[in-house]
Amino acid sequence: MFKFILYMLVVLTIACASCRQKTTEPEQQPPEDEWPFDPPSTEPLDAFEMNAKIGRGLNFGNALEAPAEGDWGIVIRDEYIQAIADAGFNSIRLPITWPTRSQSTAPFTIDSQFFQRVDHIVETALALGLTVVLNNHHFDELNENPQEHRNWLLALWEQISGHYSDYPDELFFEILNEPHGAFNNNAAIWNQLARDALALIRKTNPYRMVVIGPISWNAIDRIPTLDLPEEDRCLIATFHYYSPFQFTHQGASWAGDDANSWLGTPWMGSPNERKAITDAFDTAVAWAQQHTRPLYLGEFGAYEKADDNSRYRWTDHVARSCEKRGISWTYWEFGAGFGVYDRDKNEWRPLLLKALMP
Ligand code: BGC
């Protein structure tokens, strides 16, 4: 009898517990249309802590910076974003050519359907815990003639920053990818334009992280030409690294007529080869320390025509050299010519993945 009562008590307890679970469960689910993200901070954020959130990441190259998504082979799929999160990466950088999605004359309105597409990718990534660096890629007109197209850049950022002002702090803005052309050898013009765009962004996004890099295609040795507004502490300084260029860009059609003659260039990881990289990074770090700015390597990678073992050695050395110095990074890129992911086979390229995520 005692055993029976005990048995009934256990059965009843389990039944009640599952019944409680069932009745409370629906209340715990947020309504489907509820915004799932935290609002952006209402006070300044620590740029070093925020930079650490970029951590190890990937560029979604060749997708949204093509004239139309898919033109250069890759359409971003939600599964790709999931795969990036599952592999343990912390962030994505989203190269976007905004000028081809906006009017080319005032008021330079950005296409609302395109905004929706970007929203979807950004929100999918954020929901998976990835930090997102939203950039402004291939603004050729501006690089050719900054004065003439200044208002276009400002109008783009006024719209983009207004559009995303309620998004969480894990969305970062990058004002312009690789300023070059007329900006080269004229850092003052770039510094002023970056300040003007930043001032506009700050009207609606007072503490959002904004990424700014130097002239000459974000060259590491041009970092000292950056003149960031002293009072704004929510900034991250960025640079790109593709040296030795004959190794990383061997056989790359866009790298000039000589690129085919570089085919077969290895990177063996000799002490001198390694030192060339770490010396450049140490110089950048010295600048960053002097100015109390966090550093972010927004792009680095070796093209698929280089041999796999050299690519592995170089990528591993660059990534580890960053990590030792507190430099966050996003590899160039996910699934195209430098890709760490094989989209035909739907799988990671093991050597490159190991170099990035040892
Ligand atoms: C360019 C890409 C190029 C990559 C490596 C990026 O900044 O936008 O088109 O493939 O650099 O050269």
If you average pLDDT over residues 326-348, what whole number do you get? 98
Range with lowest mean pLDDT among 30-44, 274-288, 317-331: 30-44
The pLDDT value given to residue 12: 40
If you average pLDDT over residues 11-20, what whole number do you get? 40
Reported as a single tens digit per residue, the pLDDT across 83-99 is 999 999 999 999 999 99
The pLDDT value given to residue 185: 80
The pLDDT value given to residue 32: 66
Residue 61 CA to ligand 1 center (angstroms) comes to 8
Question: Which is more confidently placed, 28 or 196?
Answer: 196
Q: Which atom of ligand 1 is nearest to the CA of 301?
A: 5
pTM, two decimals, is: 0.91
User: Best of 218, 238, 246, 299 to mutate for ligand 1, by most ligand atoms within 8 A of CB?
Assistant: 299
Three-state SS string over the chain comes to CHHHHHHHHHHHHHHHHHHHHHHHHHHHCCCCCCCCCCCCCCCCCCHHHHHHHHCEEEECCCCCCCCCCCCCCCCCCHHHHHHHHHCCCCEEEECCCCHHHECCCCCCCECHHHHHHHHHHHHHHHHCCCEEEECCCCCHHHHHCHHHHHHHHHHHHHHHHHHCCCCCCCEEEECCCCCCHHHCCCHHHHHHHHHHHHHHHHHHCCCCCEEECCHHHHEHHHHHHCCCCCCCCCEEEEEEECCCHHHHCCCCHHHCHHHHHHCCCCCCCCHHHHHHHHHHHHHHHHHHHHHCCCEEEEEECCCCCCCHHHHHHHHHHHHHHHHHCCCEEEECCCCCCCCCEECCCCEECHHHHHHHCC
Confidence label for 5 from pLDDT (cuts 50, 70 and 90):
very low
List the domain boundaries for the chain: 44-356
Q: Which atom of ligand 1 is nearest to the CA of 137?
A: 8
Pick among 1.10.3470.10, 3.10.20.740, 3.40.50.2300, 3.20.20.80: CATH of 44-356:
3.20.20.80
The pLDDT value given to residue 19: 37
Q: Across the chain, what does the average pLDDT equal? A: 93
Question: Which is more confidently placed, 48 or 6?
Answer: 48
If you average pLDDT over residues 303-330, what whole number do you get? 98
Confidence label for 10 from pLDDT (cuts 50, 70 and 90):
very low
